[in-house]
């Protein structure tokens, strides 16, 4: 491991490659929920929403682990690779420089708007999202906790300065005039597939204040969610009356731990997701239904 990697690796961090899937067992199954079941829980109020990539697929941003998810065709950048390798950073920023424009143009879908409406009408207390696309906020949701950060921000690993992504985009355009390439599908982490020859020669820029390494202000695979953020999320779960999971397979512990925490406290957990999730065993039921449709009908019923 290089000196840079040693310097910026979080103490006690979990070193793991992206988890593609988990294997359901008979013990991990849960009851099939109906929209009426979800409505009954949400109508009581005090709901904490935990959303994942499945909520943003209707906005044109793919998820990770569905049958067509991006993990079937690419391995996302890990924290260890990013900090240890200049080549890794060049590859990430070249791909992300093009992909971020697509993320920035994405619009909230009916599911995002329904969550904001349910919050405005007092049914939802908190929104925790594993997504980095900012679409909950764009739809009007307030006080959204971004578990994995946001692609709209950039952090310096040296001085910790946070800066807008637009600022970095302008600087990268200036040192890479005319940079473009034929791209394939965008990934949920905001980068695109690029051939190796398109990446070569892409110029990086350093922190304008201290010359340090710039990183998107998102939690990479292999990196920990900041402890203070995790503690805040546990507090929000404690304050909630119920948890509603939207579009997440809960494969990784980042989101699953909050579902487990709620279930341990005997708070009802309901899941709307396409296919089984790792949290099903902790849930009162799971509804397999398109999220935009389900949430729109829910908001309409409770209006």
Q: Which residues are catalytic?
A: 148
Q: Determine the 3-state secondary structure of 128 from DSSP.
A: strand
Instruction: Tell whether residue 273 is among the known ligand binding residues.
Output: yes
Question: Is 66 part of any known ligand binding site?
Answer: yes
Residue 97 labelled as part of a binding site? no
Residue 163 among known ligand-binding residues:
no
Instruction: Count other C-beta atoms under 10 Å from residue 176's C-beta.
Output: 17
233 annotated to bind ligand: no
Place of tokens 């690779």: 81
136 annotated to a ligand binding site: no
Residue 70 to residues 48, 129, 153, 243, Cα–Cα distance (Å): 27, 19, 23, 27
Q: Is 19 exposed, middle or buried (0-12, 13-18, 19+ CB in 10 A)?
A: middle
Q: 127 - beta bridge partners?
A: 49
Is 51 annotated as belonging to a binding site?
A: no
Tokens representing residue 147 in the block: 């578990």
112 annotated to a ligand binding site: no
* Beta pairing partners, 129: 51, 146
Instruction: Give the integer Cα–Cα distance in Å for 25 and 28.
Output: 5
Q: Is 10 annotated as a binding residue?
A: no
Tokens 């906005």 sit on residue = 59
Listed in sequence order, the residues at least 6 apart from 178 whose beta carbon sits closer than 8 Å to its beta carbon are: none
Residue 158 labelled as part of a binding site: no
60 marked ligand binding residue: yes
Residue 157 annotated as binding? no
261 is known to lie in a ligand binding site: no
Mention every residue, 6+ apart, whose C-beta is less than 8 A from residue 269: 242, 243, 244, 245, 259, 262, 263, 279, 282, 283, 284
Distance of CA 224 to the CA centre of its chain: 13
Return the DSSP state at 11.
T
212 is in an annotated binding site: no
25 among annotated binding-site residues = no
Residue ranges of the annotated binding site for Zn(2+) are 156, 159, 207, 210
Could you list the residues known to form a binding site, using ranges. 52-72, 130-133, 156, 159, 207, 210, 247-249, 273-275, 291
Residue ranges for the known binding site for NAD(+) are: 52-72, 130-133, 247-249, 273-275, 291
């Amino acid at each position: 491991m290089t000196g840079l990697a040693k310097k910026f690796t979080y103490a006690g961090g979990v070193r793991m490659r992206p988890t593609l899937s988990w294997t359901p067992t008979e013990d991990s199954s849960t009851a099939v929920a109906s929209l009426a079941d979800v409505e009954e829980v949400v109508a009581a109020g005090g709901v904490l929403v935990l959303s994942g990539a499945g909520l943003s697929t209707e906005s044109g941003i793919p998820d990770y682990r569905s049958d067509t998810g991006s993990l079937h065709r690419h391995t996302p950048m890990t924290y260890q690779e990013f900090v240890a390798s200049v080549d890794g950073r060049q590859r990430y920023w070249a791909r992300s420089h093009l992909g971020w424009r697509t993320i920035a143009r994405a619009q909230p879908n009916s599911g995002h708007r329904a969550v904001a409406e349910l919050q405005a009408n007092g049914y939802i207390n908190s929104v925790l999202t594993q997504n980095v696309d900012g679409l909950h906020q764009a739809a009007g949701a307030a006080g959204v906790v971004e578990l994995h950060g946001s692609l709209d921000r950039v952090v310096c690993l040296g001085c910790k300065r946070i800066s807008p992504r637009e600022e970095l985009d302008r600087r990268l355009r200036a040192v890479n005039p005319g940079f473009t390439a034929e791209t394939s599908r965008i990934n949920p982490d905001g980068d695109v597939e690029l051939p190796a020859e398109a990446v070569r020669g892409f110029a990086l820029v350093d922190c304008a204040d201290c010359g340090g390494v710039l990183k998107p202000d998102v939690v990479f695979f292999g990196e920990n969610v900041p402890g203070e953020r995790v503690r805040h999320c546990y507090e929000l779960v404690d304050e909630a009356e119920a948890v509603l999971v939207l579009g997440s397979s809960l494969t990784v512990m980042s989101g699953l731990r909050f579902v487990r925490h709620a279930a341990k406290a005997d708070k009802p957990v309901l899941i709307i997701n396409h296919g089984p999730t790792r949290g099903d065993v902790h849930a009162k039921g799971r509804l397999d239904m398109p999220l935009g449709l389900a949430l729109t009908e829910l908001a309409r019923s409770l209006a």
